[in-house]
Chain A
Amino acid sequence: MIISIASGKGGTGKTMIATNLIASLKQPVTLLDCDVEEPNAHLFLNLKMGDKEEVNIYVPKIDNDLCDGCKKCSDICAFNALAVIGSTVVCFPELCHSCQGCELVCPQGAISPGKRNLGHMEKAKSENITFFKGTLRVGEAMAPPLIKAVRNKTKDDETVIIDAPPGTSCPVITAMKDTDFVLLVTEPTPFGLNDLKLAVGAVRELNLPHAIAINRADLGDNKVHEYAKQEGIEIIIEIPFDRKIAQIYSNGELLVNAQPEWQEKFQELFGKIENRIKAGAIK
């Protein structure tokens, strides 16, 4: 069972909900921090992180002694990552999308697999929590292949929570594709609503069951509630705006530790999601 926690708008409380949710559970659970550009979940978990595992991606390695300047490699590259000048191939590895087409078409065998570093992964473990975190190398543009690498760390029978990146484009799509349920976190403001609509568009495109979590629930207006009702999307939890909660969060503390009454609410949230997934599976 894989639950992804996503949002169109950034800073709505994805990580807050993901970390408090797993901290409330008694059963074994795996948390994947897929917000690889700005991973934050570890700041709230007090887990001892393990060794760094480098994550690399294919880029072509060119042997210019073998190149005869036929340009087949640069012709097939859709991303302008290769340029041929005379009989020298110049590679721009940061533009490469790792399709390996250049290596396939090179008649001289001048291209072999090389690698580009995307970033790294780390693992941590406590009694019932297994945690994986991906960290994009600063200056690297492509988050999706690293997100895929983090997602590949799970097995089918685990309970997995994914802390997804913000937005509606490739990074978040990669993080929530083929998950069983998406919790869309928003805030009741015009920005929150606008970006929620985009996020709902994305989960509908991917055909994923979803519900809304409203954070800072009493801060703005009631347009998010109206929208949810109109679209028939369940509002599954609401967390009020409270300076105290903002302060707990700002210190890197868990709400469920500072205010234990929240534990039950997050357990209830998990139960509701579990029921939705089970009901969906029967259908």
Chain B
Amino acid sequence: MKELVIISGKGGTGKTSITAAFSAIANNHLLCDTDVDAADLHLLCAPKIKETFDFMGGSLAQIRQDDCLDCGQCRLICQFEAISEDYVVDPIACEGCGICYNLCPTKAIDFPQQKCGEWFISEAKSGPMIHARLGIAEENSGLLVHLIRQKSMEIANKNKNDIIIIDGPPGIGCPVIAAVTGTTAALLVVEPTVSGVHDMKRAMDLLKHFKLPAMVLINKSDINPQMCQNIINEAERQEIKLVGKIPFNKSFVQAMIEGENVYDADIDKELSHNLNDIWQQVYSFTNNLEKKLSFINPL
């Protein structure tokens, strides 16, 4: 079983729309949305939620005022300035390290584990889908990504799915690292803008750092021919396979408004052909690679 992850560095380049289109074309796959703090894939795949689970993340300190002697020890040792002068813990500043809880001389601090979100096993239009929702302003997105990737793998193994298609988060930090480590291959969806090129290079560096085979897809390719050429040159220089170009197309937004993926919406025949061709290349590239056996959670 293979795992393909779709990332971009820069946000808004079309990761989710492309992922949803692939899901309409691909056979025997499982979908996994790892953009857990701004998940959108469900808006294109009409998943019917079969099971909902709590995501228990880290713990937060809570001071029991009745038992607190105002000794000041916790405020002194907290590195995150999370405890106010009147000994109330700011849940947003608290990092969940628990040293106040461990070292309070009167044991006046509780450290309960927090529910930080939910995750779902669903049946989408195209097949099984695992997705999640991180609570507002919550931490531990990397941990949640790690969890749903693990569950995706268990379920895909049970289903005997060929491939897991992972919609990744933007950026190159904790949730992205958790989404890419140990996958079979990554597809970079890039737009031909200075920001797009700049962010693509950092995402390429990240994939190189984790020794992951990469491909590049240029979206909105006709917005800037020069930048488009820069992307092609950079991909060539780094020996990264270019799987295709998709010119700017309003069908993406139209399909989104219909709550449909752009392939099944089939507003533009040429676009659907192009997407099919791109998927065949992405699939055969990924399918010819060996998947590493395990992955580590960097958090």
Contact = CB atoms under 8 A, between A and B. Distances in A.
Given A105-B103, A168-B38, A195-B40, A141 B177 contact: yes
A206 B92 CA distance: 9
Interface residues of A, number: 61
Contacts of A194: 38, 40, 43
A75 B43 CA distance: 43
A40 B195 contact: yes
Interface string B230-252: 00000000000000000010100
Interface string A168-200: 111101000100000000000111001100100
A90 interface: no
A251 B194 CA distance: 6
A83 B92 CA distance: 28
Interface in A187-231: 189-191, 194-195, 198, 201-202, 205-206, 219-221
Interface residues of B, number: 64
A10 B37 contact: no
B182 interface: no
Interface stretch (B11-19, B22-30, B154-162, B284-292): B11-19
Nearest to A187: B12
Contacts of B202: 37-38, 138
Given A97-B97, A167-B38, A168-B136, A143 B174 contact: yes
B199 to A, nearest CB: 4
Given A78-B58, A191-B16, A206-B92, A138 B194 contact: no
Contact of B170 (A100, A166, A201, A249): A166
21 contacts: A11-B13, A12-B11, A12-B12, A37-B173, A38-B170, A38-B198, A58-B79, A76-B102, A79-B299, A101-B103, A139-B209, A141-B174, A166-B170, A168-B136, A169-B134, A173-B92, A194-B40, A198-B136, A205-B136, A220-B257, A252-B194
Interface of A: 8-12, 15, 36-38, 40, 43-44, 58, 76, 78-79, 94-95, 97-101, 104-105, 136, 138-143, 165-171, 173, 177, 189-191, 194-195, 198, 201-202, 205-206, 219-221, 243, 246-247, 249-252
Top-8 shortest CB links A-B: A10-B11, A11-B12, A99-B97, A252-B194, A37-B171, A101-B99, A250-B193, A250-B224
